[in-house]
Amino acid sequence: MLYITCSECSGFNPKCAKCGGGGEQPVYRCPSYYARGGGNEFMAAYRAFSDHGVLPTGGAYLEQSAEFVRMVGVVDRERAVLEREKGDG
Ligand SMILES: [Zn+2]
């Protein structure tokens, strides 16, 4: 079974109704389903920020859209999980 970070709480709500506080949710369908709806555009913006420090719009980091700031946190946490798993191997 494949698990992803909880889409409701991003792993930060120990009382989350969706994940029960575990911070993860199982994936029951093709993972490409979750990549629809602007995911490619977000990842391009994330890479520009992560690799080059370029933000999608003018202003400071916390002046970006709430969705961008939230998704940066989600991707950073997923990357940390992958790095931990690589370290365990
Ligand atoms: Zn949750």
- Residue 14 CA, ligand 1 centroid: distance in Å: 7
- Residue 35 CA, ligand 1 centroid: distance in Å: 19
- Delimit the domains of the chain by residue range: 1-35, 37-89
Residue 37: the pLDDT is 66
- Residue 70 CA, ligand 1 centroid: distance in Å: 14
Is the pTM for the entire model greater than 0.75?
Answer: no
Q: Residue 80: how many CB atoms within 10 A of its CB?
A: 10
- Residue 52 CA, ligand 1 centroid: distance in Å: 31
Q: Is the pLDDT of residue 89 over 60?
A: no
**Distance between terminal CA atoms of the chain?**
19
Residue 28: which region, alpha, beta or left (left: phi > 0; alpha: psi -120 to 50)? alpha
Paired sense of beta strands 2-5 and 24-27, if any:
antiparallel
The DSSP symbol for 10 reads: T
Give pLDDT tens digits for 39-76: 778 888 999 999 999 999 989 999 999 988 988 988 89
